[in-house]
Structure 1
Amino acid sequence: MKICFVGSSGGHLTHLYMLKPFWKDKERFWVTFDKEDARSLLDGEKVYSCYYPTNRSLKALIINTKQAIKILKEEKPDLIISSGAAVAVPFFYLGKLIGAKLIYVEVFDRIDKPTMTGKMVYPIVDKFVVEWEEMKRIYPKAVNLGSIF
């Protein structure tokens, strides 16, 4: 199984990295911002850089969609996992088209409001994970696995 982890640097990337007990023995690659925190955290990992800033940016969406096409065509992941933010959207929608399974983990600091990215990918994911029971009112099909932290 090959896994693609896609997300913004900072908290989103840290969130994904905390899943290390799950991914440490699996083939994987990362898609994130080319920033110092990401380079440091992912030293020795296979990493693709994506365009940023992404928040509500049509330019970033177009550039990252082109990146997603190229990366997904080359890597052919079986599973794509993200906790956001916007860079996840093109990878999830294109990943769905190539048959990858999709898992989205809504961020820990959202207790009673959805994120924009969560709302956008919820309809197409195979598994939507929340960390607070209150979030199941917003995402009824979600699975509450509790805190990753």
Structure 2
Amino acid sequence: MKICLVGSSGGHLTHLHLLEPFWGNKERFWVTFDKEDAKNILANERKYNCYFPTNRNVKNLIKNTYLAFKILKSEKPDIIISSGAAVAVPFFFVGKLLKIKTVYIEVFDRIDKPTLTGKLVYAVTDLFIVQWEEMRKVYPKAINLGGIF
């Protein structure tokens, strides 16, 4: 299994990194910001840098959509996993077009309100995971796996 892990640097990247028991023994690559925390956390990992800022930035959304096509067509992952934020959107939509399975994990600090990214990718996500039972009211098709932290 080949995994594409997509996430903004900071908490989203940390969140994905905590899933190491799942991805640690699998072929993988990362897509994130070219920032110091990402460079440190992913020092020994294969990483693609995406464009930022991403929040409400149409220019970078277009650039990241092109990047998603380029990376996903080249790498051909079996699955895309993300916990956000906005960089996940083009990768999930392009992934859907390319018939790549997607898993989205809504962030831990959202207990009863959705994130913008979660709302945008919910319809195209194959497996949508929440960490609080209250979030199943927001995302009825979600699975609650409890807290990752």
Could you tell me how far apart the structure 1 residues matched to 2:85 and 2:63 are? 15
Alignment RMSD, CA only? 0.5
Secondary structure in 2 matching 1:123: helix
Query: What aligned pairs does 1:98-137 form with structure 2 within 5 A after superposition?
Result: 98-137=98-137
Partner of 1:36: 36
What TM-score, normalized to structure 1? Answer: 0.99
Residue segments in structure 2 that go unaligned for 5+ positions in a row: none
Matched, 1:147 2:147: yes
Matched to 2:92, the amino acid is F
Q: Can you list the C-alpha shifts for 1:73-120, whole angstroms capped at 9, x where unaligned?
A: 110111000000000001001011111110000000000110000000
Secondary structure in 1 matching 2:82: strand
Could you tell me how far apart the structure 2 residues matched to 1:67 and 1:98 are? 14
Could you tell me how far apart the structure 2 residues matched to 1:57 and 1:114 are? 20
What TM-score, normalized to structure 2? Answer: 0.99
Matched to 1:31, the amino acid is V
Matched, 1:51 2:51: yes
**Identity percentage over the alignment?**
70
Could you tell me how far apart the structure 1 residues matched to 2:77 and 2:100 are? 6
Residue segments in structure 1 that go unaligned for 5+ positions in a row: none
Secondary structure in 1 matching 2:124: coil
Once superposed, which parts of structure 1, at least 4 consecutive aligned residues long, lie more than 4 Å away?
none
